C-alpha cells in the first residue's frame, strides 16, 4: 500500500479541529460522545483522513467502554499496531496503514473469534452504509 503523506498544515486545512486533534495529534474524544458509539447501521467504516476502508460493521460490538469497538479490522493490512508508552501506560495504538492517522487502541479483552477490542474514536471514522 502506498502511503499518503501530507504536512501537518495540509492535514489541519482538510480536517475539523477535533479530527485534527485526534487523528494527527493522537488525542481522544470523550467517552460516549462519538457519533458511532451506539450506531447499528450496516456498512463499512473508512478513515476520515484518507477514505481507506478500516472496519466492517459486522465486527462491531457493544463493549460498554464509550467508543466504537470492533473485534477485527476489515483486513490484516488496514491498520497498523504501534507500541504506545504515553501517559504512564503501555498500550497498543492503532493507526491507519495508509495515512498513519491515530485511530485509537487495541486491547486483549474482546469477544471471540479474535479476543481483541479495537477501541476507535468515532471522529476518525466515516461510515459508508451498505447497499
Within 10 angstroms of residue 72's Cβ, the number of other Cβ atoms is 18
pLDDT score, position 71: 97
Is 65 a known ligand-binding residue? no
pLDDT score, position 2: 84
pLDDT in tens, 88-113: 888 899 999 999 999 999 999 999 99
Q: Which of 107, 60, 61, 101 is nearest to 78 (CA)?
A: 101
DSSP strand E in 1-131: where? Answer: 43-47, 53-56, 60-61, 69-70, 79-84, 91-96, 102-107, 117-120, 125-129
- Distance, C-alpha 17 to centroid of its chain: 17
pLDDT score, position 13: 97
Q: Determine the Cα–Cα distance for residues 98 and 3; give it in Å rounded to an integer.
A: 5
Q: Which of 55, 48, 90, 52 is nearest to 72 (CA)?
A: 55
Is 50 a known ligand-binding residue? yes
Within 10 angstroms of residue 85's Cβ, the number of other Cβ atoms is 9
For residue 9 the three cell numbers come to: 498544515
Within 10 angstroms of residue 93's Cβ, the number of other Cβ atoms is 18
Q: Determine the Cα–Cα distance for residues 19 and 41; give it in Å rounded to an integer.
A: 22
pLDDT score, position 43: 98
Question: Is this structure's pTM higher than 0.85?
Answer: yes
Q: Which residues of the chain have a pLDDT value below 70? A: none
Is 96 a known ligand-binding residue? yes
Catalytic residue numbers, as ranges: 119
pLDDT score, position 75: 81
pLDDT score, position 131: 81
Going from the C-alpha of 42 to that of each of 57, 83, 112, the distances in angstroms are 6, 31, 20
Amino acid at each position: 500500500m502506498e502511503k499518503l503523506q501530507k504536512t501537518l498544515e495540509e492535514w489541519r486545512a482538510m480536517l475539523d479541529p477535533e479530527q485534527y486533534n485526534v487523528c494527527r495529534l493522537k488525542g481522544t474524544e470523550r467517552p460516549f460522545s462519538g457519533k458511532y458509539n451506539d450506531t447499528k447501521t450496516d456498512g463499512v467504516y473508512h478513515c476520515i483522513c484518507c477514505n481507506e476502508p478500516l472496519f466492517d460493521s459486522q465486527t462491531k460490538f457493544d463493549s460498554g467502554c464509550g467508543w466504537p469497538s470492533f473485534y477485527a479490522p476489515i483486513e490484516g493490512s488496514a491498520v497498523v499496531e504501534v507500541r504506545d508508552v504515553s501517559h504512564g501506560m503501555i498500550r497498543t495504538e492503532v493507526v491507519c496503514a495508509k495515512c498513519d492517522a491515530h485511530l485509537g487502541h487495541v486491547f486483549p479483552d474482546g469477544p471471540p473469534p479474535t479476543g481483541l477490542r479495537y477501541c476507535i474514536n468515532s471522529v476518525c471514522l466515516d461510515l459508508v452504509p451498505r447497499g
